Amino acid sequence: MKSLFVTGTDTGIGKTTVACALVRAFNAHGAPALGMKPVASGCRQTPAGLRNDDAERLIAAGPHALSYSDVNPYAFAAPIAPHVAAADAGVDISLATIARAYAQLRAQAGMIIVEGAGGWMAPLSDPLMQRDLVCALDLDVVIVVGLRLGCINHALLTTRAVLADGCRVAGWIANRIDPHMLRAEDSIATLRARIDAPLLGVLAHAASEEQARDALAEGIAPLIAPGIGDVAP
């Protein structure tokens, strides 16, 4: 099984909670997993340098301490689109740099959960898109669908875009971000009928990482192929 790239139907729909839950769930299944956030904006300044809350959550979800620069090689202070933040900082985001950091993590675990920035079509830099990162690292895609009015359109457009970019959808996860959404189950049923990939789980509103882990436990089981727990050479 390939490592996974977590994207979403929008920003703010729970990608980090899902990514952390996936790290925890794979480890709970005996399949060593680590998290990665290659490009992050909205970071805070610390004595050790810029740090991102999402990246730190991914580190905490894993089984042991990691080098921050391996988990988040590109960190930007401004809470704006990453390609704009990178341009403002005069930084060229390099796939080779990300790939080196990924290789450091991949040497320690059989599964890496890579969290994207924003949605699938959000640029990483002026020339780079999410697709370029997924293809460079040979990842499969998990789509987080934020359950709210309009999510059917957003989910199907995202799925179509991922497939049109030549990438594989390993599955999708429904996250109840709007506790007042009407007919949420009907929306889930509609998406199950139209997305040719398994529903890995449905997360309760404001679920904790542990609750999300439990909600995904059954869904991820088929993704754990023989040998996935082995550390890559």
| Active-site annotation, residues | 37
Q: Pick from 107, 115, 9, 30: which is nearest to 72 by CA?
A: 115
Q: Counting Cβ atoms within 10 Å, is residue 155 exposed (0-12), middle (13-18) or buried (19+)?
A: buried
**Other C-beta atoms lying within 10 Å of the C-beta of residue 202:** 18
Residue 183 neighbours by CB distance under 10 Å: 10
Query: What DSSP element (H or E) covers 34?
Result: strand 33-36
Which of 151, 211, 219, 159 is CA-nearest to residue 183?
A: 151
For the chain, how many residues are written?
233
* Dist. CA 135–CA 188, nearest whole Å: 29
Instruction: Give me the amino acid identity at 217.
Output: A
